[in-house]
Amino acid sequence: MATFREVCRHGPVVLLDAAAVQVQVGVITPAGEARWSAPPGESGVAVFQALEELGVNPATVGGWIFCEGPGSILGIRTVAMALRSWILLHPAPVHRFASLAVVAHALGDPNAGIIADARRETWHHLRLGEPLRRLPTRELQPPLFLPATFRTWSALPPGVQSTPYEWSRLLARVWDADLLRPAPEPDAFLHEDPNYVTWTPRIHQAPAPGA
């Protein structure tokens, strides 16, 4: 694990976060100062618009930080695919972080449960100092906080509160938190690997006479 201070100490690092409805991109200096861009629109376009707005050339970036989730799987995978292409052509270290862990550290309340929709009436759930879990709605216990710009499909749990998810406000609060891990092969977070059903192919045959 590493902190933002440690990862950014050798020069500006670019942060990419597409977990929420609006993509957030920032250029972070060793001093913890940052320039941010959060253009509206679909992640596959907004990420590149933000880089252009900030004057970032992927070929010259010395390091990347990205959100692996939970959040918008499409947005996160878009960023991960872009990162894989960029570091293949121009190698640079990549670190990943979990969105809910960032919010938990920013709030600083060990009793607060940070949640994100996992669909089918289940929720990603994390408390400060505890592992990320997936829980059904009926097992969620207040206080609960949902990042304000995260998409939801299920009915919100009773008493859930909205909390900001804006990096311009979050970075200073988590600057020295151990939230970053190396990600040599950037990808979206999954609770478990996909489970595929085995299918045995058979040659189609006409029914037997009298069948």
CATH of the domain at 87: 3.30.420.40
User: What's the whole-number mean pLDDT along residues 47-54?
Assistant: 97
Please report whether residue 206 resides in a domain. Answer: no
Please report whether residue 201 resides in a domain. Answer: no
Please report whether residue 192 resides in a domain. Answer: no
Do 105 and 98 form a contact (C-beta atoms < 8 A)? no
Please report whether residue 196 resides in a domain. Answer: no
Please report whether residue 198 resides in a domain. Answer: no
Cα-based distances in Å from 138 to 5, 142, 154, 156:
39, 11, 12, 11
This prediction has a pTM of 0.89
Higher pLDDT, 130 or 207: 130
Task: Domain count for the chain, please give it.
Answer: 1
Please report whether residue 173 resides in a domain. Answer: yes
pLDDT per position as a tens digit, 147-184: 999 999 999 999 999 999 999 999 999 999 999 999 99
Please report whether residue 162 resides in a domain. Answer: yes
Share above pLDDT 70 across residues of the chain, in percent, rounded to a whole number: 90
State the Rg of the chain over Cα. 20
Give residue 56's domain range.
4-182
pLDDT per position as a tens digit, 84-128: 999 999 999 999 999 999 999 999 999 999 999 999 999 999 999
pLDDT per position as a tens digit, 65-75: 999 999 999 99
Q: In this predicted structure, what is the pLDDT of residue 204?
A: 57
- 205 confidence band (pLDDT: 50, 70, 90): low
